Amino acid sequence: MGMAIDRDDTQFHVLAVDDSLIDRKLIERLLKTSSFQVTAVDSGSKALEFLGLNNNDAADDEEDEQRDSNTESVSSDEDQDHQDLGLGVNLIITDYCMPGMTGYDLLKKIKKSSSFKDIPVVIMSSENIPSRINRCLEDGAEEFFLKPVQLSDVNKLRPHLMKGRSKDIDSSHKPTSTRLITSGN
């Protein structure tokens, strides 16, 4: 096992989005019980704000992507700022039915964002509508939970987070040193 894994980096930070006060309290407790760090907000726009994206930024990211595909320049500083503002969010779990911006709208905006498109997004809904579920999964949601969400659902989140975490570790080490560290194990 590499040295990096011994850090207490199993504390994942989940951003929970739900307009219902009761459901926010519930999801917060479910996540904290499962040792996640939680930030709970009551709307999609507050979620984007927390991440450091406002609606304008989401559109700007699209323009950036257009520009980047034409030139070699990468706006990595801006990305880092966004990541820092987002305070290391590892997963977003959002209600589907919310006034203003739905969970689906939020999913689309996250997936369009160059800074945040790799953050796993999970959608929750009290309504079991297959076409809705399929659309969310097809458009990038990792999971779809039917409400009321239970501990068994929250336990399904860790694999998605571990996937993202191991990507971070690999990308932060030069290839040779990683091989050296793991070769003894």
Partner 1 sequence: MDRNRLRNQVASMRRSLFDQGYLDDQFIQLEELQDDTNPNFVEEIVTLFYNDSARLIQNIEQALNSSPIDFCKLDDYMHQFKGSSSSIGAKKVTNECTAFREYCNAENAEGSFQQVKQEYAILKRKLEVYLQTVRQASQTA
DSSP code for 22 = H
Of 3 and 22, CB closest to partner 1:
22
* Least gap, CB of 39 to partner 1 (angstroms): 18
Using CB under 8 A as the criterion, which residues of the chain lie in contact with partner 1 when the complex forms? Answer: 20-23, 25-26, 29-30, 33, 97, 126, 147-148, 150-151
* 3-state secondary structure string across 40-78: EECCHHHHHHHHCCCHHHHHHHHHHHHHHHHCCCCCHHH
- Angle between the N-to-C axes of helices 44-51 and 55-70, in degrees from 0 to 180, rounded to the nearest 10: 50
> What is the arrangement of strands in the sheet containing 37-41, beginning at the earlier edge strand?
37-41, 13-17, 91-95, 121-125, 143-146
* Least gap, CB of 49 to partner 1 (angstroms): 23
Q: With DSSP H G I counted as helix, E B as strand and the rest as coil, what are the percentages for the chain, rounded to 5?
A: 55, 15, 35
Of 127 and 170, CB closest to partner 1:
127
* Least gap, CB of 151 to partner 1 (angstroms): 7
Residues 6+ apart with CB under 8 A from 109: 44, 48, 53, 55, 58, 101
* Least gap, CB of 109 to partner 1 (angstroms): 23
* Least gap, CB of 32 to partner 1 (angstroms): 8
Of 20 and 178, CB closest to partner 1:
20
Of 26 and 169, CB closest to partner 1:
26
Of 21 and 180, CB closest to partner 1:
21
